[in-house]
């Protein structure tokens, strides 16, 4: 028998990968985990006939020749399957998009590519082979891609994710159903938790980190969906939610990130957790949830990498114009150096204003091109220090509707960052 399965606690991407495996490798039987992530349960119930799953127990007594594993290369996340495979030495092939995970499955051959979703990795293969899908199968796979890419806004998104998604739409995938499956905060218990959470923003190593702690009488299905909903609303760099269930002495730590630099897989592995860079979780045995929460906050203080600050991306050699320079000379200078604006300095070299082509145009309309720049420059100058983070730079740009930001240290011009610099770095 040849079989294929994914990690325990199967999520959207696991199901989407397996529906693609079914067409890519038609002789393989799919095996379902005994645990399904609550967020994916509705979709599974809707389409379970398309999978025709075996259970892990069905493997007992069977001779397994080949195994395909999807969406993980960690042995601990597939142990429930191997515990039922006996008297077999199967060839194992792994398809995984989690670049941060090291494979510890003995003898496995790995096909790995860093994409937003594992379904994109397999979908690309199906595209190249010209395989066609039923609209229901395409919907399952497209849901997987939308889920694991955060609807195409996570930093892990690649061109291949978009291409495979477009191809699945051509196959008849339903965006209406995808949206329905991903609207996962729908149960009364989830809404109650959403209303009780009081996350607070903390600046940790310059990162905007959302933290919350909540005690629950019992475990609530779909807590990750609640965390993701708050993440969407408050838009921090990362969110760490700690849930404590006293009667079970259990802590559930659920984390989401928008920055690759905040690698959740690496952070939560210290607590036996798993996942990938932008989404991870851990289950911890502890009798004191509040104590764990305080210790975890301290852990983040030294475990998180410092946020990028503006002096790491600013232009240090800055063109300037003296405030006594005429508008005509300033216009010619800006054209020569191919700039639309630059800082204006006084005789001490201090920044006293900012002149742009728009300011010069005002002088041109009034026939005042021989007037000094000082008469038409923008004041006061909006500036920032070199240790300001990019998140704060973003706020300054959009709050003040400016495109250039001089960087000053003790009143002296040290560099400049433009909206273009910011956008280029965000790529």
Three-state SS string over 349-379 comes to: CCEEEEEEHHHHHHHHHCCCCCCEHHHCCEC
3-class secondary structure, 195: helix
Helices (H) and strands (E) in the chain, counts: 15, 16
Q: How far apart are CA 189 and CA 240, in angstroms?
A: 20
Does residue 311 surpass a pLDDT of 60? yes
If phi > 0 it is left, if psi is from -120 to 50 it is alpha, else beta; for residue 423 that is alpha
The three-class DSSP label of residue 261 is: coil
Neighbours of 132 (CB within 10 A): 11
Residue 420 reports pLDDT greater than 60:
yes
How do 412-418 and 404-409 pair as beta strands?
A: antiparallel
Angle between helices 159-170 and 118-129 (to 10 degrees): 60
Nearest to 343 by CA among 420, 418, 421, 424: 418
CA 159 to chain centre: 15
CATH 3.10.580.10 spans which residues of the chain?
Answer: 311-426
Q: Which residues contact 55 (CB under 8 A, 6 or more apart)?
A: 31, 32, 34
CA 355, 357, 362, 364 torsion-angle sign:
positive
The pLDDT of residue 186 is 67
- Which run of H or of E encompasses 20? helix 12-24
User: What is the arithmetic mean of pLDDT over 259-271?
Assistant: 88
Q: In the chain, list all ranges with CATH 3.90.1640.10.
A: 2-182
Q: How many CB atoms lie within 10 A of CB 410?
A: 6
Question: Residue 19 and residue 136: Cα distance in Å, rounded?
Answer: 10
CB 197 within 8 A of CB 212: yes
pLDDT of residue 152: 92
Helix ranges restricted to H, 130-253: 135-148, 159-170, 175-182, 188-196, 223-234
Average pLDDT for the chain: 90
2-182 in CATH: which number? 3.90.1640.10
Phi-psi region of 130 (alpha: psi -120 to 50; beta: other; left: phi over 0): left
Find the DSSP H helices in 199-355. Answer: 223-234, 264-268, 289-303, 327-336
Q: Bigger pLDDT: 401 or 174?
A: 174
Two structure tokens written together for 329: 């000379």
Q: Cβ neighbours of residue 186 under 8 Å, at least 6 residues apart?
A: none
- Mean pLDDT, to the nearest integer, of 418-425? 80
Q: What is the DSSP letter of 188?
A: H
Residue 100: predicted pLDDT: 58
What span, in angstroms and rounded, lies between the C-alpha atoms of 281 and 272? Answer: 9
Secondary structure element (H or E) that encloses residue 12, with its range: helix 12-24
Q: Do 82 and 89 contact (CB within 8 A), yes or no?
A: no
Domain 311-426: assigned CATH number: 3.10.580.10
Place 296 in a pLDDT band, splitting at 50, 70 and 90. Answer: very high
What is the per-residue pLDDT for 114?
Answer: 87
At 47 the pLDDT is 93
More confident site: 41 or 172: 172
Question: What value does the mean pLDDT take over residues 222-244?
Answer: 90
Choosing among 3.40.640.10, 3.40.50.12170, 3.10.310.30, 3.40.50.261, the CATH entry for 188-303 is: 3.10.310.30
Output the pLDDT for position 403. 83
Taking only the tens place, the pLDDT of each residue in 205-231 is: 989 999 999 999 988 878 888 998 899
Q: In which band, very low, low, confident or very high, does the pLDDT at 427 lie, cut at 50, 70 and 90?
A: low
Instruction: Tell me the pLDDT tens digit for each residue of 3-34.
Output: 999 999 899 999 999 999 999 999 999 999 99
Question: What confidence tier does 38 reach under pLDDT thresholds 50, 70, 90?
Answer: confident
* pLDDT computed for residue 424 by the predictor: 73
Max Cα separation, the chain?
A: 93
Where in the chain are all domains bearing CATH 3.10.310.30? 188-303
Residue spans of beta strands (DSSP E) within 229-278:
238-245, 250-257, 274-276
Chain centre to alpha carbon of residue 326:
49
pLDDT score at 117: 95
**pTM of the predicted model as reported, rounded to 2 decimal places:** 0.65
pLDDT at 134: 94
**pLDDT for position 395:** 86
Separation CA 394–CA 419 (nearest Å) = 8
- Provide the token pair at 418: 């433009």
């Amino acid at each position: 028998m040849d079989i294929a399965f994914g990690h325990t606690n199967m999520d959207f991407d696991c199901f989407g990968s397996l529906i693609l495996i079914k067409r890519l490798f038609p002789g393989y039987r799919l095996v379902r985990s005994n645990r399904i992530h609550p967020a994916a349960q509705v979709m599974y119930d809707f389409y379970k006939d398309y999978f025709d799953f075996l259970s892990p127990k069905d493997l007992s007594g069977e001779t397994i020749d080949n195994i395909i594993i999807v969406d993980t290369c960690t042995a601990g996340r597939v142990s429930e399957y191997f515990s039922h495979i006996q008297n077999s030495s199967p060839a194992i092939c792994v398809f995984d998009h989690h670049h941060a995970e090291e494979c510890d499955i003995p003898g496995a051959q790995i096909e790995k590519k860093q994409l937003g979703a594992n379904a994109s990795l397999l979908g690309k293969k199906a595209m190249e082979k010209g395989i066609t899908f039923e609209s229901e199968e395409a919907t399952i796979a497209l849901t997987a891609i939308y889920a694991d890419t955060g609807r195409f806004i996570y930093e892990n998104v690649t061109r291949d994710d978009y291409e495979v998604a477009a191809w699945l739409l051509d196959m008849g995938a339903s965006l209406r159903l995808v949206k329905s499956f991903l609207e996962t905060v729908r149960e009364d218990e989830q809404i109650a938790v959403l209303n009780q959470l009081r996350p607070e923003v903390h600046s940790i190593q310059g990162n905007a980190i959302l933290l919350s702690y909540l005690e629950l009488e019992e475990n609530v299905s779909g807590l990750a969906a609640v965390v993701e909903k708050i993440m969407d609303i408050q838009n921090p760099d990362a969110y760490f939610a700690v849930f404590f269930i006293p009667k079970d002495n259990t802590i559930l730590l659920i984390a989401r990130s928008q920055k690759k630099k905040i690698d959740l897989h690496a952070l939560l592995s210290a607590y036996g957790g798993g996942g990938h860079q932008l989404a991870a979780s851990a289950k911890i045995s502890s009798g004191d949830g509040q104590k764990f929460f305080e210790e975890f906050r301290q852990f983040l203080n030294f475990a998180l990498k410092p946020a990028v600050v503006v002096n790491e991306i600013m232009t240090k050699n800055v063109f300037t114009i003296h405030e006594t320079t005429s508008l005509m000379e300033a216009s010619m200078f800006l054209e020569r150096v191919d700039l639309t604006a630059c800082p204006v300095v006084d005789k001490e070299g201090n920044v006293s204003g900012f002149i742009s082509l728009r300011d010069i145009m005002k002088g041109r309309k009034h026939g005042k091109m021989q007037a000094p720049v000082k008469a038409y420059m923008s004041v006061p100058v909006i500036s920032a220090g070199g240790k300001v983070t990019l998140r704060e730079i973003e706020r300054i740009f959009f709050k003040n509707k400016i495109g250039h930001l001089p960087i000053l240290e003790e009143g002296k011009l040290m560099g400049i960052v433009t909206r273009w610099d910011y956008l280029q770095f965000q790529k």
